[in-house]
Amino acid sequence: MSAAIRNHPRIVDPETCLAGCTCNSEHPAPQVTLYSGKDAGQILAEDCRAIYGDRPVLLLFDPETGAVAGADLQRHLQAEKVNLTVYQFDSHPVATAALIETVRALSKDVALVISVGSGTINDLGKYSASEDHIDFWCLPTAPSMNGYTSGIAAIKVKGVKRTLPAAPPKRIYSLPEVIQQAPLKLRQAGFCDVLAKVVSDIDWQCESLLFNGGYCGLPAAMMTEVEHSYSEHPEEIGKGDESAVIGLFHGLLLSGVAMSLAGSSAPASGGEHLVSHFWDMREPITGREPELHGLQVGVGIILSTACYQRLRQLTRDDLPRQAEPLFTETAARIPAIWGPYADEVAKQFDNKREALLQFDTLLPQKWDELQTLFQQVQSPEYFADLFARTGAPFNLEAFRLSKDEFMLAALNSRAIRERITVLDLAAHAGVLEAAAADALQLLR
Ligand SMILES: [Zn+2]
Ligand SMILES: [Zn+2]
């Protein structure tokens, strides 16, 4: 006899969320559901049995996430007589193509992959399952990034971190006390990642105003409703206060859904994310192991908001006409910065050459409307203070970043992606260097 299949609530109710759409296009509502409770392990196991019966299931965790939730979930699944294979990664796994192959070999004939963990373990399970069209569920262990619900995974291919499409999980099960007790640094990282939306949304509006008009107010509208529960509570997040940390976690889940809804990462990833990708991609060259995604993004937020602050001070007459030489100069620096990866980066930068060359006419033309957007962004001092108030250090030294590596990213990360961000605007308005120096002062 098989038990009835339980359906849990979707993270975003399709009707309510579509009310915020301003672009009049279709936004297929993501199906991902959430069950949250002390008994999430038991419920997951029962659901797994009810849906998949005797079909094989693969469970993934590492020693750390095994200790807080994975081993317990394994017991529940075994008690429900789920046909289970367990794979435990070594401590601090890296989402490499080689490890993806290991997971795919193990998941060859399974009906479901379950990840217990945060960024990396989630990406390993999600990407492997997605490649083979296998169902994927996850049990998050930290409110550290917004990737749980997103349609992408960060995988390192031939030494270079890439963002690849991957189907979001069908179901998420969360244990509130595990989320609440996640290490401080992970909570601080999630706090930075969810707040990136505040700047990336304006980046997206600027790009849309200058070029494609593709902006939609829906992702921002979705976030505005929940923002108050975490954005003004850094101390509580630092101390592990239940309502602030769970509020943060739900904000992160929603932020991932917002990206899926928009069909692009633009609502949650602008110039502030480029510096983080820059440092991830530079690992094989510098040997610096990347810091948590959210913390590097936090540094990027300080830079982006410093750019907006400098841009706010300019009038139309201050704008230099320098698009062509600026492109040539920036492109000329790529080989020295990227070595063996220079061709790939040069190709990305070249993809936005045509757009950038229009800046000499477009920026002055749209300056008044752009200023209205610039005015909406808080100062870098505001964010630096907010991040430090979580109680964990927030500076370059804590993130093992040298002043030189920071400046290199500030001035050159806009070349690694096609998307137009505030870093391009600041460069063409002639204030990127000054803004980077402002940010550096706040990151000492
Ligand atoms: Zn829309
Ligand atoms: Zn992010």
Least confident interval from 135-139, 149-153, 367-371, 423-427: 149-153
Q: What percent of the chain has pLDDT over 90?
A: 82
pLDDT of 74 strictly over 60? yes
Q: Is the pLDDT of residue 27 over 80?
A: yes
Query: What φ, ψ does residue 44 adopt, rounded to 5°?
Result: -55, -50
Pairing status of strand 171-174 against strand 160-165: unpaired
Average pLDDT for 257-261 = 84
**Average pLDDT for 399-408:** 97
395 — pLDDT class (breaks 50, 70, 90): very high
Average pLDDT of the residues in 213-224: 89
Which pTM value belongs to this model?
0.94
Q: How far is the CA of 26 from the centre of ligand 1 (A)?
A: 7
264 C-alpha to ligand 2 centroid (Å)? 13
> Is 2 a residue whose pLDDT tops 70?
no
Ligand nearest the Cα of residue 298 is 2
Ligand 2 mean position to 183 CA, how many Å? 18
The span from the CA of 324 to the CA of 332, in Å, is: 12
Is pLDDT at 1 greater than 50 in this prediction? no
CATH number of this structure's domain 184-442: 1.20.1090.10
Mean of the per-residue pLDDT values for the chain?
A: 94
Nearest ligand, CA 220: 1
Please tell me the class of the 32-178 domain. Answer: alpha beta
In a 10 Å sphere around its CB, with 0-12 CB exposed, 13-18 middle and 19+ buried, how is residue 322 labelled? middle
Fold match, 32-178 / 184-442: no
Measured distance CA(30)–CA(12) in Å, rounded: 8
Q: Residue 30's pLDDT is what?
A: 81
Domain ranges of the chain: 32-178, 184-442
User: Which ligand lies nearest to the CA atom of residue 150 in the structure?
Assistant: 2
Closest CA to 378 of 233, 201, 210: 201
Give the tens place of pLDDT for each residue, 263-320. 777 777 899 999 999 999 999 899 999 999 999 999 999 999 999 999 999 999 999 9
